[in-house]
Amino acid sequence: MKKSRYTLLFIATLLTLSDATSQSYADLHELKGFSMKAYYSPGNAERAKIIVARCDRAIKYVNGLVGFTPNVSLFILNSEHWKKYATFPLYGMPHYTDDKRLVIASEDNDFWKSFIPPLDQLPPDLATKIKNAYTTADGSMSMMAFFDLLALHELGHGFHQQGGLTMQRLWMQELFPNIMLHTYIAENESANLPALEAFPEMVVAAGTTGYEYTTLADFEKRYDNMDPKNYGWYQCRLHVAGKNIYDAGGEKNLVKLWKGLKENKEKMSDEEFATFLNKKVNPEVAKVQTGW
């Protein structure tokens, strides 16, 4: 089973099984009162409550749509505990350390800030969107608001991996969590849509110059072996597709895609898959394949 290898620019390798299975987390605090197990670095209780509460709401919301709840434990970690418990060394990228343990950064960091572009080099309307979406409470800029939402993308992987879905394609394996993420935010936290949409919109609007691979066939072949920035471009395209799919049918499209991928276990040809998506889910989903 493929692990999530999500990132916008940097992550380039699959995550491996952590030795955390033998750890007791004695140096972490447990956060109780939610449907999932959660642990956090001391001094980060308030931030942990915000992150876990959102994940808890998202799981309950999606369960209400598809009738399934994944078994996921959350770890909200500072940079020191990240070194001990995470499997991806760069602090700030949410990821699984195994099938059920999801690691999330508790603090703002240089990795998140590195994604902020020079605003004076952007078209004025796009620069305004970026500034409005990613300006923090103290007036500085960071991608914290975006990366916090990516934890829900990772939850999407928990849903399809543990829920027994046959994803058919690697691009669908990444598209499904983006559809789930966008659906949850649009339906429950619409004020956060700008933070979810602005960065992918900027990357896609910049075009394909400088990327070696741009087709879905390339994505299938090079999923584990391409330049991280190139991989990030694909993820931004899939973010935009997730928005378009939600806009075309709301939460119903997520439900129909879940049911279709769960019921159809046999590998489909490209033509069969496009027909299935067009007729059984929504033409906007099929368009990801046929109109890429």
Residue 112: strand, helix, or coil: helix
User: 52: which residues sit within 8 A by CB, 6+ positions away?
Assistant: 31, 34, 36, 38, 74, 76
The pLDDT value recorded for residue 24 is 75
pTM for the whole structure: 0.90
pLDDT of residue 16: 33
Mean pLDDT throughout 260-282?
97
- Residue 95: helix, strand or coil by DSSP? strand
- 116 or 103, greater pLDDT: 103
Q: What is the mean pLDDT of residues 48-59?
A: 98
Query: Is the model's pLDDT at 97 over the cut of 50?
Result: yes
Give the residue extent of every domain in the chain: 19-290
Question: According to the model, what pLDDT value does residue 14 have?
Answer: 32
Lowest average pLDDT, out of 8-22, 101-115, 195-209, goes to: 8-22
- Let me know how long the chain is: 292
Interval 156-177 mean pLDDT? 98
Q: Please report the pLDDT score of residue 114 as a whole number.
A: 87
> What value does the mean pLDDT of the chain take?
91
Please state the rounded mean pLDDT for residues 31-60.
Answer: 97
* Under 8 Å between Cβ of 287 and 212: no
Burial class (CB in 10 A: 0-12, 13-18, 19+), 191: exposed
> Is residue 86 predicted with pLDDT exceeding 80?
yes
CA distance 17 to 65: 30
pLDDT tens-digit readout, 1-26: 444 554 444 343 333 333 334 457 99
Task: List the structure tokens of 249.
Answer: 């049918």
The reported pLDDT for the residue numbered 17 is 32
pLDDT at 9: 40
Q: Which of 105-114, 168-177, 239-248 has the lowest mean pLDDT?
A: 105-114
Range 19-290 has CATH code 1.10.10:
no
Q: Which residues are CB-neighbours of 22 under 8 A, at least 6 positions away? A: none
Q: Mean pLDDT throughout 168-172?
A: 98
**pLDDT at residue 23, rounded to an integer:** 59
Local structure of 141: helix, strand or coil? strand
* Residue that wins the pLDDT comparison between 262 and 90: 262
